[in-house]
Amino acid sequence: MVMMSFINPLGYLLFFCGVGYLIYTLVSGSIRPDATGKQKTAEFDATEDSGFILIFQPFYRILTPFVHRLPVPGYKRRVQSYVITAGLENQVTGDDIIGFQITVMLLFGIVGMVLSDSTVTITLSAAFGLVYPYLWLREKKTQRQERIKLSMPDVVDMLSLSVEAGLSFNAAVQKVCDIYRHDKDPFVVELYLMDQNIKLGRSRVEALKVMADRVDLMELDSFASILIQANKMGSSIADVLKSQADRMRSERFLKAEKIGAQASQKLLIPMMVFIFPIIFIVIFGPYLVKWITG
């Protein structure tokens, strides 16, 4: 009992100190000029929205030395691959995410300590804080992969038209990147990064493999493999791109039809539970009332 009476004031103190420091970080960060003193006008906007995670940067960066020493290499590799696939590697690293997990775990543990004396509540709060950043990152990765899958047919079609107009494949990629410069299309971002790798001296085959590994998406892996095969066989890139665009568009249409068919099946249970009883009451209710009242 004495221990809990000590922990409660300590929890309040830590909680309000953390909130105060967070507010200070937000305010100072919003008015602080860029460290370079230059306006950020990148040649191509390849930055994904990292959400609220950068708000906690002063906290989880303190934990970086501790995270480096954690003996979980497999988990670190998986988190880092998620960061890359989610398009966040310019803002955070895998170690930052793990540090963020520890930070949120401590924060939620303190909140649980403030709100309740129950050990179970405190433990569950801390566990949720530990797991939530990982789930958030995985969702960001999945959302970006879905956006790439949706945009691929149109972008590949634009590549095909550019190549048919007489541009080389690399020039067509640059043209498409220029057209979609401000759209933040994730597939175009990956094409831009692929083009940068080629400019840095990598072959087209290597750059395509790197792009496929980064995104970790079956459709993009298939697209890269076909382009690599066409490059080795000396086939017409324009014909390959055209056929790929048609195939992707057909697959997208079939998927939309499948989702539409599934929607009607999913509506069946709510109709049976909510709508049919109401229809039954409206139709037979007056007869039932008349029968009861005689």
Over residues 217-226, the pLDDT tens digits come to: 999 999 999 9
At position 242, the amino acid (one-letter code) is K
User: Alpha-carbon distance 7 to 142, whole Å?
Assistant: 40
| Domains detected in the chain | 2-25+48-145 (no CATH), 147-266 (1.20.81)
Q: Which two tokens stand for residue 152?
A: 């691929």
In single-letter form, the type of residue at position 268 comes to L
Mean pLDDT of 46-64: 78
Average pLDDT estimate for 56-77 = 89
Burial of 177 (0-12, 13-18, 19+ CB in 10 A): buried
pLDDT for res 100: 92
As a whole number of Å, the CA-based R_g of the chain is 27
**Structure tokens of 72?**
């979980």
For 27-49, write each residue's pLDDT tens digit: 444 333 333 333 333 456 556 66
| pLDDT tens digits along 238-255 | 888 888 888 888 888 888
Q: What is the pTM of this model?
A: 0.73
Contact 206, 197 (CB under 8 A): yes
What is residue 16's predicted lDDT score, i.e. its pLDDT?
Answer: 55
